[in-house]
């Protein structure tokens, strides 16, 4: 089987289906949680303009939280802000921020404290990667993925925690990572970065417990979102076969887990990793850029 060395999605390709939950879904989908569960909470969600971050923002607002979102693309943030306002009558805070830039992160945390009066929960969801055999990674590509997923997440965690320490207030960090326990061929850069975040989180769960700051991770498996555009259609046809349920998850599955950890139900959960993958960890691999013949020969999944 010949596999292209690089898959670069064409942003102007209108032939590909639009994936992920619609704004109508996010506004009306049933939730197991009570209406005022997050009332009074101030929640910052990075990458909240799309996918799981957007779903988490919708749900948090529906449950009474004050929400701020960031991402690089201002237009995406404004569209989400308008959709949430239309659905709920609540205005969320948006600030265009590249999490790779520690000074921009400092400004973001300051704005959230000024405008929302503080911060209770930080959801580090911004991130991503491209599918490629590791041997072909360019230096710039490797650095882009590490800088976004590991360094960017760290700048956010450290800045939030510094404010919590100064103010003497409790904090809660939820890091969205990936399901990396067995590695993930063609996503070695993200596996390295996400493993870093998982063990950073486990360490800080102890180091920051005296500050009354909890730190946990959520590891999604294959969750159908707008982000699927990063992968070739051929790969997307196989993704769901990597778990024994043979399904894709959706952004609501992750949004509800985030809500659980943000709510009082998560009070005693610290330093943990919650995997939401339909059992993929015990089952298969996704090969997002295409499986090499070597592995196909034995009829592997």
Ligand X SMILES: CCCCCCC/C=C/C(=O)SCCNC(=O)CCNC(=O)[C@H](O)C(C)(C)COP(=O)(O)OP(=O)(O)OC[C@H]1O[C@@H](n2cnc3c(N)ncnc32)[C@H](O)[C@@H]1OP(=O)(O)O
Residues contacting 2, CB < 8 A, separation 6+: none
Helical pair 153-167 and 102-116, crossing angle rounded to 10 deg: 40
CB of 118 to ligand X, least distance (A): 29
Residue with tokens 């749900």: 59
Output the six-digit token pair for 186.
């063609």
Distance CA 122, CA 44 (A): 5
Contacting range for ligand X; rule: CB under 6 A; set: 14-22, 78-86, 222-230, 290-298:
222-230
- Per-residue x/- mask for ligand NDP, residues 212 to 231, rule CB under 6 A? --------x-xx-xxx----
Picking from 232, 16, 236, 44, the residue whose alpha carbon sits closest to that of residue 126 is: 44
Residue 185 touches ligand NDP, criterion: CB under 6 A? no
Residue 126 touches ligand NDP, criterion: CB under 6 A? yes
Q: Which of 46, 125, 148, 216 binds ligand X (CB under 6 A)?
A: 148
- Binds 140, which of ligand NDP, ligand X, none (CB < 5 to 8 A, cut-off by type)? ligand X
- Binds 171, which of ligand NDP, ligand X, none (CB < 5 to 8 A, cut-off by type)? none
- Per-residue x/- mask for ligand NDP, residues 11 to 50, rule CB under 6 A? -----------------------------------xx-xx
| Closest CB to ligand NDP: residue number | 51
- Binds 76, which of ligand X, ligand NDP, none (CB < 5 to 8 A, cut-off by type)? ligand NDP
Residue with tokens 């060395």: 5
CB of 100 to ligand NDP, least distance (A): 5
Beta bridge partners of 67: 43
Residue with tokens 């259609």: 233
Residue 49 touches ligand X, criterion: CB under 6 A? no
Distance CA 68, CA 223 (A): 23
Alpha helices in the chain (DSSP H): 23-28, 51-62, 74-88, 102-116, 139-146, 153-167, 188-207, 233-239, 251-262, 293-296
CB of 17 to ligand X, least distance (A): 15
Interaction site with ligand X (CB under 6 A): 6-8, 128-132, 138, 140-141, 144-145, 148, 178, 184, 187, 190, 222, 227, 230, 286, 288
């Amino acid at each position: 089987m010949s596999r292209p060395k690089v898959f670069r999605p064409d942003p102007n390709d209108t032939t590909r289906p639009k994936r992920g939950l619609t704004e109508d879904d996010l506004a009306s989908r049933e939730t197991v949680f009570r209406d005022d569960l997050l009332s009074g909470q101030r929640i910052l969600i990075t990458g909240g303009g799309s996918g799981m971050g957007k779903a988490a923002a919708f749900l948090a607002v529906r449950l009474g939280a004050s929400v701020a979102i960031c991402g690089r693309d201002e237009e995406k943030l404004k569209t989400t802000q308008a959709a949430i306002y239309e659905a709920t009558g609540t205005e969320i805070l948006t600030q265009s921020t590249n999490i790779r830039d520690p000074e921009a992160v400092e400004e973001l945390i300051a704005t959230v404290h000024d405008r929302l009066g503080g911060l209770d929960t930080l959801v580090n969801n911004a991130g991503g990667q491209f599918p490629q055999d590791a041997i072909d990674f360019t230096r710039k590509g490797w650095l882009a993925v590490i800088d976004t997923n590991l360094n960017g997440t760290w700048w956010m965690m450290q800045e939030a925690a510094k404010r919590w320490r100064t103010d003497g207030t409790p904090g809660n960090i939820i890091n969205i990572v990936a399901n990396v326990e067995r590695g993930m061929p063609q996503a070695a850069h993200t596996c390295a970065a996400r493993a870093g975040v998982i063990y950073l989180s486990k360490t800080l769960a102890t180091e920051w417990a005296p500050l009354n700051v909890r730190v946990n991770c959520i590891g999604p498996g294959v969750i159908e979102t707008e982000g699927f555009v990063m992968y070739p259609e051929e790969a997307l046809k196989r993704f769901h076969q990597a778990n024994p349920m043979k399904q894709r998850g959706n952004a609501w599955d992750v949004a509800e887990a985030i809500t659980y950890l943000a709510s009082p139900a998560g009070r005693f959960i610290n330093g943990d990793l919650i995997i939401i993958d339909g059992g993929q960890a015990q089952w298969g691999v996704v090969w997002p850029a295409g499986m090499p013949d070597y592995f196909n020969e034995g009829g592997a999944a």
